């Protein structure tokens, strides 16, 4: 059993992740911002902690995650709410979480990022372009840390039922991926700590999730 601290637990991927971790006997600890989110997360199997990613200090954040075996950062503005919101959550929020994990001694850190081809070929807004730039800088910040990190870059997120089969690699063609499958890939990364210091691109595919992740074992 692994105790997993989830930042963004109340989000679309976060809720699926909580449920899948609990089903496999792990102990998800879900950070949520609003009090009304706690009951739903508890029903899915999480221990809940309330906190605002944009307001916590690194020390207070570290106190919340201390004792966990890993941290998963799946919070994000999704390019919505303007540049300030994106900068605060996807940028400074990630940097804060990294600092807190280092203080708390939680070395395993998994980040849900963005596929580089997202939105390419379309007329993008300044907000979206800023979102992509901030996500890349967050990747850079985590990769430069001393943590045991993995960066997961899913393709276009869809709500279709996950097949449990994906395509995962260091560089793969762009495509859709079910949020269920993203959550399953994160569970596989929790259970396969030998997969480390990797940037993994992920779409729906034909390979069982656990097998697809296992193929990426070893430090780059």
Active site members: 131
Cα distance between residue 86 and residue 150, in whole Å:
21
Residue 173 CB neighbours (<10 A):
11
Per-residue CA distances from 68 to 104, 109, 117 (Å):
9, 11, 33
Cα distance between residue 37 and residue 44, in whole Å:
11
Among the listed residues 53, 73, 76, the one whose alpha carbon sits nearest the alpha carbon of residue 145: 73
Structure tokens at 19: 């449920």
What residues contact 84, with CB distance under 8 A and at least 6 apart?
Answer: none
Count helices and strands in the chain by DSSP H and E runs: 8, 11
Structure tokens at 131: 């979102």
Reduced to 3 states, what is the DSSP secondary structure of residue 191?
Answer: helix
């Amino acid at each position: 059993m692994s105790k997993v601290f989830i930042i963004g637990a109340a989000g679309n991927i976060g809720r699926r992740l909580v449920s899948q971790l609990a089903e496999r006997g792990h102990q998800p600890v879900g950070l949520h911002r609003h009090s009304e989110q706690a009951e739903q997360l508890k029903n899915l199997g999480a221990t809940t902690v309330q906190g605002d990613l944009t307001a916590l200090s690194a020390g207070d954040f570290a106190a919340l995650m201390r004792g966990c075996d890993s941290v998963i950062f799946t919070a994000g503005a999704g390019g919505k709410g303007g540049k300030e919101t994106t900068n605060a959550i996807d940028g400074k929020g990630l940097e804060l979480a990294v600092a807190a994990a280092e203080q708390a001694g939680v070395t395993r850190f998994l980040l849900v990022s963005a596929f580089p081809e997202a939105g390419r070929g379309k007329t993008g807004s300044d907000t979206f372009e800023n979102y992509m730039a901030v996500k890349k800088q967050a990747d850079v910040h985590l990769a430069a840390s001393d943590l045991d990190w993995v960066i997961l870059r899913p393709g276009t997120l869809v709500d279709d039922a996950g097949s449990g089969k994906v395509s995962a690699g260091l560089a793969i063609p762009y495509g859709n991926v079910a949020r269920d499958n993203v959550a399953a890939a994160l569970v596989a990364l929790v259970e396969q700590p030998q997969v480390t210091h990797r940037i993994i691109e992920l779409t729906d595919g034909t390979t069982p999730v656990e097998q697809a992740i296992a193929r990426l074992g070893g430090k780059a």
